[in-house]
A = this chain, B = another copy of it.
Amino acid sequence: MLTMQDALARLTAYWTDQGCLVVQPMNTEVGAGTLNPATFLRVLGPEPWRVVYVEPSVRPDDSRYGENPNRLQTHTQVQVILKPDPGNPQELYLGSLTALGIDVAAHDVRFVEDNWASPALGAWGLGWEVWLDGLEITQFTYFQQAGGLNLEPPSVEITYGIERIIMALQGVTHFKDIEYAEGVSYGEVFGQAEYEMSRYYLDDADVATNRRLLELYAAEAQRLIDEGLPIPAHTYVLKCSQAFNVLDSRGAVSTADRAAEFARMRRLAGDVARLWMARRDELGHPLGVVSPLPPAAAFEAATAGEAPRTLVFEVGTEEMPPSEARAAVEQVRRELTERLGGTRLAHGDVRVHATPRRLIAVVADVAAREPDHERTVKGPKTGAPEKAVAGFARSQGVPVESLETAELNGVPHLVVRKHEAGRAAPAVLADVLAKVTGSLRSAKNMRWNDPQLAFTRPIRWLVALWGDEIVPLAVSSLLAGRDTRVLRTAAQPAVSVASAETFMETLAINGIVANADDRRELIVTGAQDLVWDSGRIDVAGEAALIDQITYLVEQPTPLLGTFDEKYLELPAAVLTTVMRKHQRYLPVRDADGTLLPMFVTVANGPVDVERVRSGNEAVLRARYEDAAFFYRADRKLPLAAMRDKLQRLTFTDKLGSMADRAARIAALSLSLREPSATLERAAQLVKFDLGSQLVTEMTSLAGVMARDYALHAGETPAVAQAVYEAELPRSAGDDLPASVPGALLSLADRLDLLAGLAATVGLPTGSSDPFAVRRAVLGLIAVHRAHPDLAGIDLTAALAAAGALQPVEVPAAVLADAGDFLAKRLEQVLVEEGHPVDRVRAVLPHAGRPSFADLLLAQLGRLITDPRFLALAEAIQRARRIVPDGTPAGYDPALLKEPAEVALHETVQTVRRELPADADLSRLTAVAGRLTDPVNAFFDEVFVMADDPALRAARLGLLATVRDLGAGLLDWPQLRL
């Protein structure tokens, strides 16, 4: 059996063979190998660096007294840095797994998007978690920035989690059972330390002491920065970090502290990084300087044939995130179509495909060459001085005699007519494809060893074939060819393609399903086939997950796995969250929709099914065991104690802790209307489950766990439901609160968020919406609309009340902006639902009461064909047009003499008398319908603008009264009749 210490030795030896230096772990506590100066400092600057080292990584927060089978306060990382990117780091990495004795062809090894950022270090990178049969065993990151500085060249960082890998390889379920060395278990060697250090971090570390240590370390770091000594300064930054982590695990980090401490560490780390760079410059870069890859030299295109041929263009990448792969399809299609359109090359359909590792464009019938073309070059006007004419001819390289004359904009000019031969397809395509490749961009782009390109992940190869000819495409350091790559674990991972026409077939033969629809189909039918005897996959319900899986594999291989029935005692949401979010497994349900103890995972390519199945089952078991551990622990804790923990969670720097926020939500919910006993209790509890271990681990379970824990603690079902519903809706299309207490809490939650953030962070602009305010406002609208019983609640007023509860001042202008923001979202929602824009705008004065706006819209839909309403509306609009703005709705009836005006006066007074204050449109129409005739008669028979000013005023006052009959109910001028 491969012992843990053997594994460390083998990895070290493997990477040493790849030219890595071996250094020692940091001799002060660090949370990860990244913090070791052999990474944090060495990734900076232009010097090459290849290193491998072991790093015992201390995470005080992960302390579990050695009881949790998968979590340790100190775990062992093997850290590898490759700088510059060697161009094939994934292949080198797979080699290291082979060195560990892992058969990478039999197992399912996957690179799953995982981006990394450490705000405290001013560092980030893009990369993957590497999965071995569903188990995350490695972090693989292209480091882009550290200490706030761009890394040029970027480094590849590979971080192995050794305990996990060894547990998987040895098939043990508790870290203590790892065979550390022959005949000696991990628990025997490190068990006591695990327990005692957990005791220290969780219970016994002296808070005052660690606080003072933190300050002393920070001051010393600053002094050393001032002295220009980055290395000792860095050591003290690390000591700061550890002291902070100890305080955090002891629950002693206050709201204000955390943000301040992160800011300080970021500043110190940035200073250290800059100093280090400067020192290395001074020292003349002792390890040398990385030279960028040279540009690829394009070859001459072969002579093209004459017949149109297919163009295939493949951009080979390392594993793209699913969303980026999908987005790239559209981008390639658009770019390629536009740029081909900019040439004179005839071509047929453009089809684009994406898999995790490639973008493929197939263009049918691309002509062999552009047609020839005559171009007119404009010269001086006819009759220009001879010198100018001669100069023009010379500049065009033609004798003066060959100049012709042409009318340009009606003026005769001397011109040269040039015959341009159409270029051959390969040359044209080379230009086009180079531009397409260079223009590729994703939402978040990275750099690798290529000196110019930037994309979501590295581009490693290009295939460009027009028929059977290679398009002479060279982009930066890449040269296109006819070799594509198939599964890395294939016997022949690179395959030569004969011609564009056989490209897709070649891929298919080699197992690559290039078409996403095909892959989806394979996944869905494969999964259903696997479970058919026992249950079903909810294909519609899991559509998003299936879409994601479609872009996680190139050759979908669904596998059925099972788990112990005992875990079904965990809440279903826990089970499915783990399956979907953490593992991308498809849950299986029986006919009633009840979860079955099984799952479908989709491996990539031909694997050893039994091994991969059992590996994935072990991962799920470990995760469920973890969850069960938290679940049991949480259920032992009184709700009040859990809620108390909210004091330790920061909401935002200026808006206090999560406990503060929960208190505001409670107060606000109780003020929205006379509270029920259920609401009163639910308000006391709201958000308490954020203090539970399970929700800390899986934040998406907030609310769900609150309901579960509340019920378990003996709260009424109504209260439990309300604390759950307080979190609804969690996303677009999610369930909405069904109960009134739930709805009130949900509204209060979102109003608090909107008011607080509008006043501190500002309202969302463009794509920047870190606190998901937009989603909260949409939730606000949805909840209100779902509860006509709460139509009386005016969100605008409630927003002001929420503002008054904030720990910061929320100015009226901010509230007004927030109200506008809300109205805009409502307008958008209603229009998207298909309501005519004019009607939507007409009801928008009621944006504060979206359910009332709904009512009005519904009535409008019916009344819009009702002659009485039309007449009324017409009357109102007509009155509005005549009556000057600002004219009050009042008049002296004694001045009215004409029968028509007297009749109108009497009808108006009747209507006003009969119309209730809260009339809606139907009522208005019913009551005011009788105005139709008198109004018409009035306009026919009465001349409003009488010479007698008093009479004119009375008539205008009468019309103003008509105008105002529907005032406040609709924005009448918006309505197009």
B229 touches A279 (CB 8 A): no
Indicate which residue in B212, B224, B230 contacts A204 across the interface (CB closer than 8 Å).
B224
Looking at chain A's contact residues, the main secondary structure is: helix
Enumerate chain B residues within 8 angstroms of A181, measured Cβ to Cβ: 16, 21-22
Given contacts A22-B8, A204-B229, A220-B206, contact A287 B27 (CB under 8 A): no
Distance in angstroms from A756 CB to nearest chain B CB is 38
The stretch from A192-200, A420-428, A429-437, A716-724 touching chain B is A192-200
Say yes or no for A836: interface residue by CB 8 A criterion.
no
Enumerate chain B residues within 8 angstroms of A286, measured Cβ to Cβ: 187-188, 191-192
A230 touches B196 (CB 8 A): yes
Say yes or no for A463: interface residue by CB 8 A criterion.
no
Enumerate chain B residues within 8 angstroms of A213, measured Cβ to Cβ: 213, 216
Distance in angstroms from A570 CB to nearest chain B CB is 33
Q: Which of A2-39 contact B (CB under 8 A)?
A: 5, 8-9, 12-13, 16, 19, 21-30, 37
Distance in angstroms from A179 CB to nearest chain B CB is 11
Say yes or no for A56: interface residue by CB 8 A criterion.
yes
Residue of B nearest to A212 (CB): B216
Say yes or no for A231: interface residue by CB 8 A criterion.
yes
A56 touches B24 (CB 8 A): yes
A196 touches B22 (CB 8 A): no
What copy number does this chain have within its complex?
2
Say yes or no for A327: interface residue by CB 8 A criterion.
no
Say yes or no for A302: interface residue by CB 8 A criterion.
no
Enumerate chain B residues within 8 angstroms of A23, measured Cβ to Cβ: 189
Enumerate chain B residues within 8 angstroms of A19, measured Cβ to Cβ: 182
Given contacts A9-B12, A184-B287, contact A231 B196 (CB under 8 A): yes
Say yes or no for A862: interface residue by CB 8 A criterion.
no
Enumerate chain B residues within 8 angstroms of A219, measured Cβ to Cβ: 206, 209
The answer for the CA separation of A55 and B453 in the assembled complex, in Å, is 43
Say yes or no for A592: interface residue by CB 8 A criterion.
no
B22 touches A5 (CB 8 A): yes
A27 touches B24 (CB 8 A): no
Given contacts A21-B181, A216-B213, A220-B209, contact A192 B54 (CB under 8 A): no
Enumerate chain B residues within 8 angstroms of A193, measured Cβ to Cβ: 37, 231
A180 touches B27 (CB 8 A): no
The answer for the CA separation of A200 and B235 in the assembled complex, in Å, is 11
Distance in angstroms from A937 CB to nearest chain B CB is 95
A283 touches B192 (CB 8 A): yes
Q: Which of A277-307 contact B (CB under 8 A)?
A: 279-280, 283, 286-287
Say yes or no for A512: interface residue by CB 8 A criterion.
no
B27 touches A232 (CB 8 A): no
Say yes or no for A223: interface residue by CB 8 A criterion.
yes
B22 touches A9 (CB 8 A): yes
Enumerate chain B residues within 8 angstroms of A956, measured Cβ to Cβ: none
B200 touches A229 (CB 8 A): yes
Enumerate chain B residues within 8 angstroms of A28, measured Cβ to Cβ: 27-29
Enumerate chain B residues within 8 angstroms of A231, measured Cβ to Cβ: 192-193, 196-197
Enumerate chain B residues within 8 angstroms of A76, measured Cβ to Cβ: 24
B199 touches A229 (CB 8 A): yes
Distance in angstroms from A556 CB to nearest chain B CB is 41
CB-CB nearest 3 A-B residue pairs: A200-B232, A196-B231, A5-B22
29 inter-chain pairs at a CB distance below 8 angstroms, sorted by A residue, are A5-B21, A8-B22, A9-B12, A9-B13, A9-B22, A21-B181, A21-B184, A21-B189, A24-B76, A27-B28, A27-B58, A189-B287, A191-B286, A192-B231, A196-B230, A197-B232, A199-B227, A199-B229, A200-B229, A200-B232, A204-B223, A204-B229, A206-B219, A206-B220, A206-B223, A209-B216, A213-B213, A213-B216, A216-B216
Chain A residues with CB under 8 Å of chain B are 5, 8-9, 12-13, 16, 19, 21-30, 37, 54, 56, 58, 76, 180-182, 184, 187-189, 191-193, 196-197, 199-200, 204-206, 209, 212-213, 216, 219-220, 223-224, 227, 229-232, 279-280, 283, 286-287
Question: A27-B27, A188-B287, A193-B231 given. 9 additional CB < 8 A pairs?
Answer: A8-B22, A16-B181, A21-B180, A27-B58, A192-B283, A197-B231, A200-B232, A204-B232, A213-B216
